Chain A
Amino acid sequence: MSHIVIDDKQCKACYLCIDECPKKLIKVSDKVNNLGARPVEFYDPNGECLGCAMCATRCPDLAIREVYRG
């Protein structure tokens, strides 16, 4: 199943990936990370992720470490 892997310790909460996701599967977490930021998290209960990697391509901090398609 297509999915992404986020390292929430690298996320600086710029939220550029949120706008990028065509299925709107990335949301702001309730947790606060080591940087004092509220990182993003991947939320895909219905398996909609396309594995397009637009989020990872946009992420300036390589916080989206892996993307799988298929």
Chain B
Amino acid sequence: MATQVFKVPDIMIDGFKFGFCPGCDHGVAMRLVAECLDELNLQENTICASAIGCSVCIYDYINVDTIEAPHGRAIAEATGVKRAKPDKFVFTYQGDGDFASIGLAESMHAALRGEKISAICINNTNYGMTGGQLGPTTMVGQVTTTSPTGRNLEYYGYPMKIAEQFALCDGVAFSARVSLDTVPNIRKAKAAIKKAFEYQIKGLGFSFVEILSSCPTNWRMTPQKAHDRVRDEMMKVFVPGVYKDILESKQV
């Protein structure tokens, strides 16, 4: 008898269809979040704050109560929800532009206050939904629609290392960066998301996972080449790892 080793997570909405471009890692990241919610039995007790960007349609895919936030304000909404209903599991799923650019003040202060929520941030080094503009994580030299000659240090300065920055906030219980470039790394990514969720359940503080993802359409690459770029370029600058874990007393 063959045993089933992979299935569509139960929490996915019946008949859902991801609307992402071919090869986009948002689909992998959302599936990992769904698998973790399933495994931790959180379906009935979760409220999600969804962000603006390619992540916006999470409510069309994952069957939990979701509120839509204006651009950058998912963490602010999640804070309100968690404070009003502290027994709920509350998480956000945001792009890097949403989390670390327009929403940076909200995100960082929630981390400093140690709000007991979890945030997942997709780092694809650009503003994906609007056509690939330069964002807070765009790499030095990277060509985008708003930096046609490449990100120029004199003009734009440096990209932000989100997981490291958030690890420095005292209210943070867990901050990690993971990558989706290979299957083993996808498995590690899931373990990190699960740990972040468990830290919220234990009430330890703000938990955060930054996920390095490909954006083949805006990078103008095949999905295969895009993963090579994640591995050869992004992971050199945005080094994966656990930057803070208060139970392991790991600090940057």
User: Is chain B found bound to chain A in the same assembly?
Assistant: yes
Using a CB–CB cutoff of 8 Å, the interface residues on chain A facing chain B are 1-4, 10, 12-16, 19-20, 37, 51, 53-54, 56-62, 64-70
Tell me if B24 counts as interface (CB < 8 A to partner A). Answer: yes
A57, B26: Cβ atoms closer than 8 Å:
no
A61, B223: Cβ atoms closer than 8 Å:
no
A70, B183: Cβ atoms closer than 8 Å:
no
Chain A residues whose C-beta falls within 8 Å of the C-beta of B183 in the assembled complex: 20, 54, 57-58
Q: Which B residues between 15 and 34 are near A, CB-CB below 8 angstroms?
A: 17-18, 20-28, 31
Chain B residues whose C-beta falls within 8 Å of the C-beta of A57 in the assembled complex: 6, 183, 186-187
B3, A69: Cβ atoms closer than 8 Å:
yes
Using a CB–CB cutoff of 8 Å, the interface residues on chain B facing chain A are 1-8, 12, 17-18, 20-28, 31, 183, 186-187, 216, 223-224, 227
Using known A-B contacts A53-B5, A66-B6, determine if residue A10 contacts B224 with beta carbons closer than 8 Å: no
A-B contact pairs, 26 of them (CB 8 A): A1-B2, A2-B2, A10-B18, A12-B21, A12-B22, A13-B22, A14-B23, A15-B224, A20-B183, A51-B2, A53-B6, A56-B6, A57-B6, A57-B187, A58-B186, A60-B18, A60-B20, A60-B23, A61-B22, A62-B12, A62-B27, A64-B6, A65-B7, A66-B7, A67-B6, A70-B2
Using known A-B contacts A16-B223, A20-B183, determine if residue A69 contacts B23 with beta carbons closer than 8 Å: no
CA distance A60 to B183 in the complex (A): 12
CA distance A53 to B5 in the complex (A): 7
Chain A residues whose C-beta falls within 8 Å of the C-beta of B25 in the assembled complex: 60
CA distance A25 to B18 in the complex (A): 25
Nearest to A37 among chain B residues (CB) is B22
CA distance A19 to B182 in the complex (A): 11
A11–chain B nearest beta-carbon distance, Å: 9
Chain A residues whose C-beta falls within 8 Å of the C-beta of B23 in the assembled complex: 12, 14, 16, 60
CA distance A61 to B24 in the complex (A): 9
Nearest to B34 among chain A residues (CB) is A62
B17–chain A nearest beta-carbon distance, Å: 6
B31, A62: Cβ atoms closer than 8 Å:
yes
A19, B28: Cβ atoms closer than 8 Å:
no
Chain B residues whose C-beta falls within 8 Å of the C-beta of A65 in the assembled complex: 7-8
B224, A16: Cβ atoms closer than 8 Å:
yes
B2, A60: Cβ atoms closer than 8 Å:
no
CA distance A57 to B29 in the complex (A): 11
Nearest to B4 among chain A residues (CB) is A68
Nearest to A53 among chain B residues (CB) is B6
A54–chain B nearest beta-carbon distance, Å: 5
Nearest to A66 among chain B residues (CB) is B7
Q: Told that A13-B22, A60-B20, A66-B4 touch, could you supply 9 new A-B pairs with CB distance under 8 A?
A: A10-B18, A14-B23, A58-B28, A64-B6, A66-B6, A66-B7, A69-B2, A69-B5, A70-B3
CA distance A19 to B187 in the complex (A): 17
CA distance A56 to B5 in the complex (A): 10
Residue picked from B2, B6, B183, B186, most chain A C-beta under 10 Å: B6
CA distance A66 to B3 in the complex (A): 10
